[in-house]
Amino acid sequence: MKYKLHLDLSSNRLASSTPKEVELKPEQILCNDVHLPDDSFNPHNVRLWVIGNEYGPMGAVWASNEGDAIDELIDQGLADGILIDEKDADDETPRGGNAGEPYNQDYLWMGEVDWDIQRDYLILFKLAEAKGGCLDHLGKL
């Protein structure tokens, strides 16, 4: 089973090729800091980001901003599609994750998930269940 996520592209500052909707396997949707749309306490404005490249979406992670989302994607092992070898990196190469790993952002795209409770109720229920169970990703349900 795959989950369809709709993206809000109004604040997208990366590739113009970001799709409006994507399908992800449950294992690709992390539950690292779930904040549901009706959460009254979210001081850091954490939201779900989908990140991909020219081959499609790599994963969805919860973060406060684009940089934190890329860091989380790398740290959780979902960024194989953008990581490059250290010997191919230079001073201009962007780095991410806790280890400062070099990555290629030439075809990188990302977008925030745009929640609609009537449309997305199933995945929202699953995210609430995963949050309550302290699960790493939806694939563990």
Return the domain boundaries, the chain.
Answer: 3-140
Cβ(111)–Cβ(7) below 8 Å? yes
Dist. CA 119–CA 116, nearest whole Å: 5
Q: pLDDT tens track of the chain, all 141 residues?
A: 999 999 987 766 555 667 899 999 999 999 999 999 988 899 999 999 999 999 999 999 999 999 999 999 999 999 998 999 999 999 999 999 999 999 999 999 999 999 999 999 999 999 999 999 999 999 999
| CA diameter of the chain | 48
Q: CA 40 → CA 35, 36, 120, distances in Å?
A: 9, 9, 19
Torsion-angle region of 115 (φ positive above 0: left; ψ -120 to 50: alpha; else: beta):
beta
